[in-house]
Amino acid sequence: MIEVREVKSKKEQKDFLNFPLKLYKNNPYFVPPLYGDEKKIFRKDYVYLDQSEAVYYNAYLDGKMVGRISGIIQHASNKKENTKRVRFTRFDSIDNQEVANALFSKVEKWAKEKGMDTIVGPLGFSDLEREGLLIEGFDQLSTFEEQYNYDYYQRLIETYGFVKEIDWTERKLYLPDEEDDRLKRISDKMLKRFNLRYGTAKNTKDFIKKYADKFFDIIDITYNHIYGSVPFTPGMRKMMIQNFNLIVDLKNVAVILDENDRVVCFGICFPSIAKSVQKCQGKLTPIGALRVLWEIKHPTVIDLGLIGVLPEYAMKGVSSSIISTISKMLKYPNIDHIETNLTLETNISIINQFKSFKTVQHKRRRSFVKKID
């Protein structure tokens, strides 16, 4: 008999957090989130709860936990898009359609009681969280920023009645076989023409102090119409700055300023910590923390994080300077490639920028949608 219970007790919270660790035990491609960060979703002061509400469910079959799911009503997103949507996230299940149906039904019932009319996902509280269901690339290591899932998840979701809403693609970027200085020439010409320059900083702390608030402002402008995005709150900004302090290296960031020191474009990359987080199962014990710090200092892969350009500069080739900077990262010692993470299939401008590299599209993710019955 399948029983789905709302997560309320400390034990149920622990079961919710530990279930994917058990389901993907020994899977060579799964990279868990940091356990300490995931625990925060159950705190009453969780950073996203000032603009959202959430519910969590565990599923049991004959007393054994076999699945989990969370439902999120992102009020800021619904207000911005004039929708009545509930997002599903953190969906994990054994390969059993009845279990999946029971989990989705619970979220739908909760959402309907809240006045929602559509369910969509996998989407988190914001597009800074893990999103999208992996539908291609099951033999590829997940990045730390994104979620891995088994191939049968798509069948469970579609059989319940979901259909595709949009896809993201992911690529590996390599240096081209033959170097071409065209990108650098375009970049230099553009900077001179519009009287722009690269911003500088003494260290990571100085960089964050100088530019963090400014590029969050750009994100709010440039990502406003991006699928799944929501405006940054002060709490979200603080959380991101704390994360930047841990893994941002000045070698992997670029900021472009105008003559008034206004940030007009930026790009942020991160050293991949996927393998070290995988080894410690997301739990930063002293040994686990040392592994992560070592991988930050000795990366073999760089993850592309965020790129933002003010609208008035978007069509002037300014982003070519950021792409030129990213290409230099591939020349660092021991760097094999850059992982792009998620790029919306409709984002043709950034996809065209990737043509400056030798690329391999190795993953695809999907967001699904369904009307609530």
Query: Minimum mean pLDDT among 89-93, 347-351, 369-373: which range?
Result: 347-351
pTM (2 decimals)?
0.92
Q: What is the pLDDT of residues 205-217, one digit of tens each?
A: 888 888 888 877 8
Query: Minimum mean pLDDT among 4-13, 44-53, 236-245, 353-362: which range?
Result: 236-245
Asked if residues 31 and 140 have their Cβ atoms less than 8 Å apart, the reply is: no
Query: Across the chain, what does the average pLDDT equal?
Result: 90
pLDDT at 303 over 70: yes
Q: What is the pLDDT of residues 153-184, one digit of tens each?
A: 999 999 999 999 999 999 999 988 776 677 77
Tell me what the mean pLDDT of segment 267-279 comes to. 92
Q: What is the pLDDT of residues 97-138, one digit of tens each?
A: 999 999 999 999 999 999 999 999 999 999 889 999 999 999
Distance of CA 218 to the CA centre of its chain: 18
Asked if residues 304 and 186 have their Cβ atoms less than 8 Å apart, the reply is: no
Give the residue, 54 or 311, on which the prediction is more confident.
54
For residue 83, the tally of other CB atoms under 10 A from its CB is 14
